[in-house]
Chain A
Amino acid sequence: MWAYIFRRFLQALFTLFIITIVCFILTRLSSDPMAQYANRPGLTSEDKVRIRRQLGLDKTIPPQWIQWMGLPPETEKKIIDNSGLPAQYFSWLGLALKGELGTSFFSKQPVSKLIAERLPMTLLLMATAQTITVLIALGLGIVSATKQYSLTDNIITTLSFIGYSMPIFFIALGLMLIFAVKFKAWGLPYLPTGADVWNRRDATELISHMVLPVTCLVLIQTAGYARYVRSSILEVLGLDYIRTARAKGLTERTVLYKHALRNAALPFITILGLDIPYLLGGALVTESVYAWPGMGRLFWEYAQRGDYPVVLGVLLIVSTAVVVFSILTDIMYTFIDPRIRLG
């Protein structure tokens, strides 16, 4: 068990290492922070050279990566000389864990501050949507599985199939058209569209702005989860111990809730555990349609401008969370399912 956790941990470190390299190289190659200075009048070419040096853009990619990892310049030289690499890596890890992610080129603010501003908004939106989704999906999945091939099951299955194939912007735009634009035109109480300016501290305004994006996320996500719950319950219901339980004369209720659900919940918990870290990244499309000030929109805005420290910061936070949660899910699994022995 501990040996397994240790091995998983080492693997994760290696994965994270590759992630930092992949993210850094891609982002660095893809963005030209100097582009914003291109048409500025009164900027001489000497100024541009100076700005490039200040931003650390005059170096080749490997030293830039090292600099971004937060290492002091002396160690930068050492690493290029290829001495004491593991020690340097861990010292970077320490810095990154402290949240040092550099400064945005565009807004001149620390990346950690920009992210800290957006993260609560994203979590508020995503966690609300996720909670509602899970509850609805569990309900639908259970009904659908216990009444397999009935009319209700067929309706739920068909709807979740359609939901599964639906692009999220279609639902987002449709909801906006009906509940924001048309309701306003018909003189009914209407919800705000993304274009409005609003005060984040006002609870009623906050909630009224949340309703549509949350509904839209729930509609999209429920489909996949409900399909999953249905199939894992059906799988468990076909097992021998369920037949035994029924043969003992237990009521269908007891069989379902005391025997079947516990085992059917295991794969569902795994999926949930693996999905939770993605909540940090927010929802790119939904956030951009409804102008929700979250992480997805932060990423999109800054990626368009080529502001790579911000882009890297978001990428790194989300992918680290994904790696960490996959280990946690694995470990948690061994505790809730005694049949699993990791070796």
Chain B
Amino acid sequence: MSSEANFTDIPQLRIESTGPALSPAQLIWRRFRKHRMAMAGIVGVILLLIFIIAGSIIVPETKANEVDLRARLSTPSEQHWMGTDSTGRDVFYRIIYGGQISLIVGFLAVSIAVTLGTLMGGIAAYYGGWVDSILMRITESMLSIPSLFLLIVLGKYFGKEVQTINIFGRSFSGSVGIVILVIGLTSWMYLARIVRANVLSLKEMDYIAASKSLGASNARIFFYHLVPNTLGAIIVASTLGLAGAILIEAYVSFLGLGIQPPTASWGNMLTGAQTFIQRGSWWMWVFPSLFIVFTILCINLMGDGLRDAFDPHSTRHL
């Protein structure tokens, strides 16, 4: 504030002098922090992660998959906080391990989708011409086939020989890997379009021409100059995509074509819920559903906040 006196007649400088110069990342973080709902979303996601991680440390996985036919369909009680399912497995424990699977599936599927989408969109825009035409027609074809339908078809293809995977001393149903791959393969198209549009405008800029004239290779220009400059859009799209992937996993598993038991996921805990509803066992589907809703809501709030934060024209939350 001491510098204010020297520059009173230059009003635009007064704004600058109220604090230290901020990098773009700091500006984005500042905008994001002011977005109350987005902060609430982040807090929600962190709480959820703590719940799942702490839960899986305290409760061994065998408890989540333990079948106890004498205690099947029991109401929430002190022994089973959220009741048991049709084979007597504890719903609360399954929510912990199901949450792990749902989040892992969402995260890895989005990673695949982001990689594919960035490459497809970026390469199409960067090379232009017939490369662009062909890649964009492929994108368009994939977009034209309703994704849930495509997912079911693909899931059946990859799901023919499901083996159990062993990672970190734990065994997962092989369907986890398939669901991850298939969701990734069916959800890269929107991002490809966004990246393409961004790269199309970026590649005409002078700094790209400068870098070309310095002899930079295509790969260098692509990964060092073009991709980082469209990172904002990629981060926003992948956050919202994470919510989408978790939701899709839930849908496919709910339809019985996704992750196969005994491995729990929030989606497959709900399989066949419509038949149990008439017997009144509401706890079987209400608790996993609430966890899905909470997760999706928090991630979407975060995504919304990020979108505003990355948009330099956005002033609403400043």
* B247 contacts partner chain A, Cβ-Cβ < 8 Å: yes
Residues of B within 8 A of A281 (CB): 146, 149
Q: What is the minimal beta-carbon distance from B38 to any residue of chain A, in angstroms?
A: 12
- B156 near A303 with CB under 8 A, answer yes
Residues of A within 8 A of B306 (CB): none
- B285 near A173 with CB under 8 A, answer yes
Residues of A within 8 A of B153 (CB): 23, 26-27, 30, 303, 311, 315
Q: Number of contact residues on B: which range applies?
A: 35 or more
- How many pairs of residues, A versus B, come closer than 8 Å at their CB atoms? 132
Among B138, B250, B255, B296, the most chain A Cβ lie within 10 Å of the Cβ of: B255
Chain B residue at minimum C-beta to C-beta distance from A20: B141
Residues of A within 8 A of B124 (CB): none
Residues of B within 8 A of A19 (CB): 141, 144-145
Other-chain residue from B146, B148, B292 in contact with A167 (beta carbon distance below 8 A) = B292
Chain A residue at minimum C-beta to C-beta distance from B292: A167
Q: What is the minimal beta-carbon distance from A341 to any residue of chain B, in angstroms?
A: 20
- 1/0 per residue A322-342: CB within 8 Å of B? 110010000000000000000
Majority secondary structure, A binding face: helix
Residues of A within 8 A of B257 (CB): 303-304
Majority secondary structure, B binding face: helix
Other-chain residue from B138, B149, B251 in contact with A314 (beta carbon distance below 8 A) = B149
* A51 contacts partner chain B, Cβ-Cβ < 8 Å: no
Chain B residue at minimum C-beta to C-beta distance from A312: B153
Q: Number of contact residues on A: which range applies?
A: 35 or more
Residues of A within 8 A of B142 (CB): 22
Interface residues of chain A, those whose CB is within 8 Å of chain B, are 11, 14-16, 18-19, 22-23, 26-27, 29-32, 161-162, 164-170, 172-173, 176-177, 181, 193-195, 278, 281, 284-285, 288-290, 299-300, 303-304, 306, 311, 314-315, 318-319, 322-323, 326
The 6 A-B pairs of least Cβ separation, nearest first, read A30-B157, A170-B289, A30-B156, A18-B141, A165-B296, A322-B144
Interface residues of chain B, those whose CB is within 8 Å of chain A, are 137-138, 140-146, 148-150, 152-158, 160, 243, 247, 250-251, 254-255, 257, 270, 273-275, 277-278, 280, 282, 285, 289, 292-293, 296-297, 300-301, 304
**Could you jot down 30 A-B contacts, CB within 8 Å?**
A11-B137, A19-B144, A22-B142, A23-B153, A29-B157, A161-B297, A161-B301, A164-B300, A165-B243, A167-B289, A167-B292, A169-B270, A173-B270, A173-B285, A176-B277, A177-B282, A181-B280, A193-B277, A284-B148, A285-B251, A300-B152, A304-B257, A306-B156, A315-B150, A315-B153, A318-B149, A319-B144, A319-B146, A322-B146, A323-B140
